[in-house]
């Protein structure tokens, strides 16, 4: 009797749970549908946003300004509106400055104590090479870069975007995307007052950086940690010849010093997982003094040590690589470091996202409204392939260049490292060609392949000089294999056919060169 009664109770409880669950799910669906209907009506009445942008960093702010200038209503949701404190995104290549000017944002790099950069001073084993961005008649802008505090630049971009009446810049934390039948309808977010609410728009752009929480719900790509960039700022000092960024081919990898304001110098170096001294207990400071400082040229070693001696905050940030993938969901696009990352050795992340914004803006411009999810999907597919000539060139260059800069006791690898230094310092078309690539002034895949092959041949020449020997020939073959292994996987990952397609190259040039300032 007791057992039967227990069974009845259990079945009754189970039936209640199932009924309640079905009721909850149906009610939830009705609420989402009702909210979507309300959002549609709001848009029809002219009060809703055309685009929601998650993140107001460099990419999010620049995109908001570009779309708003085209008449779109833009709602930007940023987690923290305070000035960012970052150790990345402190250098704008000449190609990036051109893109800023085409977006009408070149003035955001003015008045922030920005520093002019004309090229590199490269050091290796007592050798020094001064290389400059080329004066190229095919490049329609001043061939110089700018170094600056990232936070100051971001704040200027936010101010410029929010100055437009059809941009709503709001502080809030986006919790999730609202999805209905594979279509992203908007976002759920918590306001700065702690209230959880929703926002709807036909197009949602996820642009919330390398630590994006939303990327996983849109794409299935994962970031690979390559190394760690350790850096700090030495204050109240100025480098000799401050217009040249100092690149030191040190061990275990490269070290860089560059002026980010009239009185501040960024000191940065690459270290690898498993060999990162502790910052908290002082081991890192000791390592920098005892191991890295002796490798820094004497003319600016005091500046390198100054920040450490004065207790500058030392930070370590992972460098990541992540291939761009196209989402199967409609109504959403991912941009910036949330979408695609490459090794920061070539300092081109901001340039790539600005290029992406120009392409996306041009593709969206002909659409009177963005409510047709199928049309938006076609735009996103076109965007994905048109960006390839630029993005694939920068991604491949960054990943290959960073591998060449790693010190090694392997004779073939070290020959490639020396070959890279010799190629950069040789002058003529080799130096100008490589600097045009590094500066984003010539984002052409064929030019990249040509110069990487040139570095390989130069390195092989080192091994076979003055006369070929069996050991030299063996190391040359190994070096050739290393260069193939370094280049081919990246080309394959980027998509060789898309990367080298004349049609896509022409479409990219149309966006890159034909865009007019807003």
Number of Cβ within a 10 Å radius of residue 66: 26
Reply yes or no on whether the pLDDT at 369 is more than 90: no
In a domain, 46, yes or no: no
The pLDDT of residue 489 is 82
Q: What are the Cα distances from residue 287, in Å, to 125, 305, 317?
A: 20, 12, 17
Answer for the pair 205, 380: CB distance below 8 angstroms, yes or no.
Answer: no
pLDDT at 435: 95
* 34, pLDDT greater than 70: no
Question: Distance between CA 440 and CA 351 in Å, rounded?
Answer: 8
pLDDT digits (tens, 9 = 90+) for 102-124: 999 999 999 999 999 999 999 99
Confidence band for 41, pLDDT divided at 50, 70 and 90: very low
In a domain, 506, yes or no: yes
Task: Give the domain extent around 309.
Answer: 224-320
CA 491, 496, 500, 506 dihedral sign is: negative
Tens digit of each residue's pLDDT (9 = 90 or more) over 428-442: 999 999 999 999 998
Beta strand 196-200 with 167-180: parallel, antiparallel or unpaired? unpaired
Region of residue 378 (left: phi > 0; alpha: psi -120 to 50; beta: else): alpha
Q: What percent of the chain has pLDDT over 70?
A: 87
Q: What is the mean pLDDT of residues 173-201?
A: 95
Give me the residue label for tokens 């209907």.
Answer: 37
Q: Show which of 297, 320, 343 is a domain's final residue.
A: 320
Judgement on whether residues 461 and 503 belong to the same structural domain of the protein: yes
Confidence (pLDDT) at 388: 87
CA nearest to 61, candidates 81, 46, 47, 86:
81
User: Among 418, 52, 87, 3, which residue's Cα sits nearest to residue 203?
Assistant: 52
Shared domain for 411 and 470, answered yes or no, is yes
Give tens-digit pLDDT for 244-290.
999 999 999 999 999 999 999 999 999 999 889 999 999 999 999 99
Residue 156 lies in a domain: yes
Say whether both 92 and 175 belong to one domain. yes
Question: 62 and 186 share a domain?
Answer: yes
Domain assignment of residue 125, yes or no: no
Supply 412's token pair.
Answer: 């073939």
Is the alpha carbon torsion for 414, 415, 416, 419 positive or negative?
Answer: positive
Q: Do the domain assignments include residue 75?
A: yes
Residues 413 and 507 in one domain: yes
Of 498 and 50, more confident: 50
Q: Indicate the residue among 257, 285, 320 that finishes a domain.
A: 320
Q: 169: how many CB neighbours lie within 10 A of its CB? A: 21
Lowest mean pLDDT among 1-10, 149-158, 276-285: 1-10
Instruction: Tell me: do 240 and 293 sit in the same domain.
Output: yes
Handedness of CA 454, 460, 463, 466 (dihedral sign): negative
pLDDT in tens, 202-217: 999 999 998 888 988 8
Same domain, 367 and 467: no
Reported as a pLDDT band with limits 50, 70 and 90, residue 292 is very high
pLDDT at 504: 65
DSSP 289: I
Examine the pLDDT at 44 and tell me if it is beyond 60. no
Please tell me the distance from the alpha carbon of residue 253 to that of residue 192, in angstroms, as a whole number: 42
Match 């190394």 to its residue by tokens.
227
Residue 109's nearest CA partner among 158, 153, 63 is 153
Q: Which residues pair with 119 in a beta bridge?
A: 132, 244
Strand, coil or helix: 342: coil
Note the pLDDT of residue 139: 86
The enclosing domain of 103 has a CATH number of: 3.50.50.60
Closest CA to 489 of 119, 135, 224: 224
pLDDT of residue 38: 41
DSSP state of 346: G
The H or E element containing residue 67 is: helix 58-69
Q: Confirm whether 16 is domain-assigned.
A: no
203 and 232 within one domain: no
Q: Report the pLDDT value the prediction gives residue 443, as an integer from 0 to 100.
A: 84
Q: Tell me, what CATH number does 314's domain have?
A: 3.30.9.10
Instruction: Give 138 or 193, the one with higher predicted confidence.
Output: 193
pLDDT in tens, 484-515: 888 888 777 777 776 776 666 677 766 655 55
Q: Report residue 459 as tokens.
A: 């390195």
CB atoms within 10 A of CB 63: 30
Residue the block writes with tokens 């009239």: 262
User: For the ranges 5-9, 299-303, 314-318, 420-424, which has the lowest average pLDDT?
Assistant: 5-9
pLDDT at residue 150, rounded to an integer: 97
Residues 288 and 195 in one domain: no
The structure tokens 């790539």 sit at 352
Q: What is the pLDDT of residue 490?
A: 78
* Together in a domain, 365 and 218: yes
Domain membership of residue 10 (yes or no) is no
Residue 140 inside a domain? The answer is no
Overall domain count for the chain: 3
Query: Would you state the pLDDT for residue 486?
Result: 82
Give the per-residue pLDDT at 149: 97
- 105 and 197 share a domain? yes
Q: Are residues 61 and 173 in the same domain?
A: yes
User: Average pLDDT over the chain, rounded to whole?
Assistant: 88
């Amino acid at each position: 009797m007791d057992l039967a009664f227990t069974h009845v109770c259990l079945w009754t409880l189970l039936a209640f749970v199932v009924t309640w669950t079905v009721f909850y799910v149906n009610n939830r669906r009705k609420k989402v549908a009702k909210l979507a209907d309300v959002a549609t009506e709001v848009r029809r009445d002219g009060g809703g946003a055309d685009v929601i942008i998650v993140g107001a960093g460099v990419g999010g702010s620049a995109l908001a300004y570009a779309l708003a200038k085209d008449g779109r209503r833009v709602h930007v949701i940023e987690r923290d509106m305070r000035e960012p404190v970052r150790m990345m995104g402190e250098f704008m290549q000449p190609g990036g400055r051109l893109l800023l000017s085409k977006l009408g944002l070149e003035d955001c790099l003015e008045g922030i104590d920005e520093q002019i950069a004309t090229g590199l001073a490269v050091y290796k084993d007592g050798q020094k090479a001064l290389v400059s961005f080329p004066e190229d008649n095919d490049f329609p802008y001043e061939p110089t870069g700018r170094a600056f505090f990232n936070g100051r630049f971001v704040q200027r971009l936010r101010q410029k975007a929010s100055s437009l009446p059809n941009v709503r810049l709001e502080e809030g934390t986006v919790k999730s995307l609202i999805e209905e039948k594979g279509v992203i309808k908007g976002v759920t977010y918590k306001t700065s007052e702690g209230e959880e609410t929703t926002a709807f728009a036909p197009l949602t752009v996820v642009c919330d950086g390398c630590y994006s929480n939303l990327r996983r719900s849109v794409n299935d790509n994962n970031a690979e940690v390559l190394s760690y960039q350790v850096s700090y700022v030495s204050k109240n000092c100025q480098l000799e010849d401050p217009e040249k960024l100092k690149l030191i081919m040190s061990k275990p990898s490269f070290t860089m010093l560059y002026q980010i304001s009239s009185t501040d110098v960024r000191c940065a170096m690459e270290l690898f997982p498993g060999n990162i001294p502790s910052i908290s207990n002082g081991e890192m400071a000791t390592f920098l003094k005892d191991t890295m400082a002796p490798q820094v040229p004497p003319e600016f070693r005091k500046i390198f040590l100054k920040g450490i001696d004065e207790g500058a905050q030392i930070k370590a940030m992972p460098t990541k690589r992540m291939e761009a993938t196209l989402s199967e969901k409609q109504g959403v696009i991912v941009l910036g470091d949330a979408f695609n990352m490459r090794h920061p050795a070539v300092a081109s992340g901001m340039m790539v996202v600005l290029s992406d914004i120009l392409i996306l803006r041009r593709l969206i411009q002909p659409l009177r409204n963005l409510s047709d999810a199928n049309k938006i999907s076609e735009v996103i597919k076109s965007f994905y392939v048109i960006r390839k000539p630029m993005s694939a060139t920068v991604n491949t260059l960054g990943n290959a260049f960073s591998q060449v800069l790693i010190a090694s006791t392997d004779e073939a690898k070290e020959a490639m490292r020396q070959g890279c230094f010799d190629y950069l310092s040789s002058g003529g078309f080799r130096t100008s060609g490589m600097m045009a690539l590094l500066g984003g002034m010539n984002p052409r895949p064929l030019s990249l392949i040509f110069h990487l092959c040139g570095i390989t041949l130069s390195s092989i020449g080192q091994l076979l000089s003055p006369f070929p020997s069996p050991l030299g020939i063996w190391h040359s073959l190994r070096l050739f294999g290393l260069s193939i292994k370094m280049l081919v996987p990246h080309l394959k990952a980027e998509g060789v056919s898309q990367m080298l397609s004349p049609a896509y190259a022409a479409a990219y040039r149309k966006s890159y060169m034909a865009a007019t300032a807003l």
